[in-house]
Chains A and B, each alone.
Chain A
Amino acid sequence: MLSTEIVEGCRAGDRDAFRALYDLYKDRVYSIAFYFLNGDPSAASDVTQQVFLKLITSIGQFRGEAEFSTWLYRLVVNACVDVARGRKFALTADRVQLEALAAAGSQEVDIARDQMARSVRAAVAALPSKFRVAVLLRYFEDLSYEEMATALGCSMGTVASRLSRGHRMLAERLKDLMAGKV
């Protein structure tokens, strides 16, 4: 949890506080970017770097955990969209670069489970970006609708509709994948 000590330390330019802030959120920021950007580790690293540089530079503006987390995820969403736009990612399942991750996990899980994990990741990667980011923020970060609305810069109704459609598309995609249509 983000403490006032860390925020104060960052405001004072304390490198240990910067590192503590980074350690607190790095994996979540990186993971969202990673899954959003079709499992491209270099693009996810770029997003993580951009987000934390902005955070550390401007943290003096923030008070309170809730405000901070919504700002953080807004930065993540903006950076992901910017990087995706810049690199012109093809949002199709056949170009998904998630194999390495799935392989790493396969040592500990059985083949069927690993296959399922690959399918889920491919299905998420194939969602249109606005649905993908909503699904990732909701299911991955457990943000409330209100926090998501702030992070995505839209209304709570829009969040609900994107989640619902994203969820439906994901379910349909998974059905296709299981049936071997894709």
Chain B
Amino acid sequence: MFSRYRLRKIAADLESQRAEQKARAKMAEYLPLVEAPEAVWAEIEAGLARRDRAPARRRIDLRWAWAGICAALLIGIFYWWRHGREWIETDSRSRVVVKVGAIGTVEVEPNTRVRVVADRASEHRFALAHGEIRASITAPPKLFFVDTAAGTAVDLGCEYSLSTDEDGSGVLRVTKGWVSFQWKGIESLVPAGASCRTRGRGGPGIPYFDDAPASFKRAAEALNIEAMLKDARSSDTLTLWHLLSRVDPANRARVFDRMADLTRVPAGVSRDLVLKLDPEALRRWKDELAWTW
């Protein structure tokens, strides 16, 4: 019995492999390689030339920045010595651009205090005490980290701004790619076009899309479940998906039902599994929803 089943399975596998090979041959026939226009290379060369000129601009920026830092030194030398020389601190008129290895840049905005904690090929880590930075990173995920009092922003290949005060209250706003904000096992995944509040000793808030209705954003920040469920659009499943693991079971069921109203529940995801916070079911649903975020 078992061997007959196995034979059938192997036959089915072989059949599907053959079908796939045939399909691939057909696809190659009907979707031929299209030659990239030569103008694309010219644009790339222009981009590279702009990049080559960038260090000169950065040097100018750094001069201004260092001037700002020197001013800060003169004004608050005692403060400086107490907190160490490795901090970069900008005043209200200075701005610094820091090159992050070969993977990108971090712009340090005025009135910001930031420190480079690690600068290795496998880990680039900043500590943001207060103020705002804008990071632009082109690297594989999880190479660039920014620690704040509310948790750690983990780059997943992106551009984003992160502001915080010394207690950790702030905002993460992502303009390209994804950022994961983590604090003691709580994680918020923030895609391009979305933001997330951060709170001291509270970790990341629930992310929401910047183009969501103001009432929905207010509800997300205040964790007003009723209002969130009422005003959610299908793309706001980003917010609702995060909400699932942060509410009590009764509310979790309501969130699930609302999400099921807004989108199709994929195969392998069920109400029971989600109510039990089954990690695989949550991940699978998120993978499906992420294409609409």
Contact = CB atoms under 8 A, between A and B. Distances in A.
A35 B34 CA distance: 9
A120 B291 contact: no
Given A29-B36, A53-B47, A22 B140 contact: no
B32 interface: yes
Given A27-B36, A121-B31, A138-B24, 13 more contacts: A15-B48, A26-B41, A31-B34, A35-B34, A49-B44, A56-B48, A57-B102, A58-B102, A60-B102, A61-B103, A74-B140, A85-B192, A139-B24
Interface of B: 20, 23-24, 26-37, 39-41, 43-45, 47-48, 51, 102-103, 121, 138-140, 143, 157, 176-177, 192-193, 267, 283-284, 287-288, 291
Contacts of A30: 34-37, 40
Contacts of A56: 44, 48
Contact of A139 (B27, B51, B138): B27
A85 B293 CA distance: 10
B35 A154 contact: no
A49 B47 contact: yes
A138 B32 CA distance: 14
Contacts of B157: 74, 78
A45 B40 contact: yes
Contact of B43 (A45, A116, A129): A45
Interface string A98-124: 000100010000000000110011001
Interface of A: 15, 18-19, 22, 26-31, 34-35, 41, 44-45, 48-49, 52-54, 56-58, 60-61, 71, 74, 78, 82, 85, 101, 105, 116-117, 120-121, 124, 128-130, 135-136, 138-140, 142, 154-155, 158, 161, 167
Contacts of B45: 15
A26 B36 contact: yes
29 contacts: A15-B45, A15-B48, A22-B41, A27-B35, A28-B33, A30-B34, A30-B35, A34-B34, A35-B34, A41-B37, A45-B40, A49-B43, A52-B44, A53-B47, A54-B138, A56-B44, A56-B48, A57-B102, A58-B102, A58-B103, A58-B138, A61-B140, A82-B192, A85-B192, A85-B193, A120-B26, A120-B31, A130-B288, A135-B27
Contacts of B193: 85
Contact of B32 (A52, A53, A58, A105): A105
B291 A130 contact: yes
Contacts of B51: 53, 57
Contact of B30 (A45, A120, A136): A120
A128 B291 contact: yes
A57 B102 CA distance: 7
Contacts of B288: 130
Nearest to A152: B287
Query: Which of B32, B34, B192 neighbours the largest number of chain A CB atoms within 10 Å of its CB?
Result: B34
Contacts of B287: 154-155, 158
Given A54-B138, A57-B138, A82-B192, A101 B34 contact: yes
